[in-house]
Amino acid sequence: MSVLDEIIDGVMADLAVRMQTCPLDDLKESAHRQDPALDPMPTFRADGVNVIAEVKRASPSKGSLAPIKDPAALAEDYAVGGAAAISVLTEQRRFGGTLEDLRAVRSRVTVPVLRKDFITTSYQLWEARAAGADMALLIVAALEQDALVSLVERARSIGLTPLVEVHDEPEVQRALDAGADLIGVNARNLKTLEVDRTTFERLVPSMPSGVVTVAESGVRGPHDVIEYGRLGAQVVLVGETLVRGENPRETVADLVAAGSHPALQHRA
């Protein structure tokens, strides 16, 4: 069994408990009471490289990264530093996150918020919207094609922008076939946890000009933002570098400044 399979098994077990506690109709009612979801795409399509800053306590590959006692305060620092959106890990077993983290972040920031989790059911999308998320991660490697298509459509129907994550060429095609227009390339193989920093460069040529490209994993500093931008990234998602740093606000500001370099011009 791969690491991804193990994570999903745990996610499904935890989900079963939540589904017994909160019926779907109650979730939908909570979602409908939320303010309309924010659309990140106009900002993401602008020139330069935007930064999605991540609230992340741990990872399967590195273990504990940071305690993050106040995720909302951290997210506020990110936003003040210029982050275009905030990603919140809500998977609890391997990443130490919760939906409460997402709710806390949503209450403090005015930029779009991404629920980053291992989503395999529409119930989880409703959970995301009810907690105030504007975006939801969908991982191609975790989904059969019919499920991927269905979840992309359902996400949009309830106001969420789907960020569809890929790791190789066949997954890029599957994402495009599902109608994805925001595609994240994760340099970390979720089955082995190994990082291949050439993944983005290899995959981005296969994406049409209308697709917004997100580079995930491997951003260690401003130089990586510039390099990803030169390769065609319109957005970078950064987690470990920020939560392990001493001053996340300044670190985000440095990454944002690098993404605003005049040489980084992108397709519309």
Catalytic one of 50, 56, 189, 240: 56
Does 62 participate in catalysis according to the annotation? no
Q: Which two tokens stand for residue 210?
A: 């209308």
CA dist., res. 100 & res. 14, Å (int): 15
Does 30 participate in catalysis according to the annotation? no
CA dist., res. 165 & res. 237, Å (int): 12
Does 127 participate in catalysis according to the annotation? no
Taking the CB of residue 122, how many other CB atoms lie within 10 A of it? 17
Does 247 participate in catalysis according to the annotation? no
Among 178, 70, 107, 191, which residue's Cα sits nearest to residue 142? Answer: 191
Catalytic one of 50, 87, 189, 217: 217
CA dist., res. 198 & res. 149, Å (int): 28
Does 165 participate in catalysis according to the annotation? yes
CA dist., res. 138 & res. 24, Å (int): 20
Catalytic one of 76, 127, 171, 216: 216
Does 76 participate in catalysis according to the annotation? no
Catalytic one of 59, 116, 171, 240: 116
Q: Which two tokens stand for residue 125?
A: 């999308």
Catalytic one of 165, 171, 189, 240: 165
Does 189 participate in catalysis according to the annotation? no
Is residue 255 within 8 A of residue 238, CB to CB? The reply is: yes
**Which residues are the active-site residues?**
54, 56, 116, 165, 186, 216-217
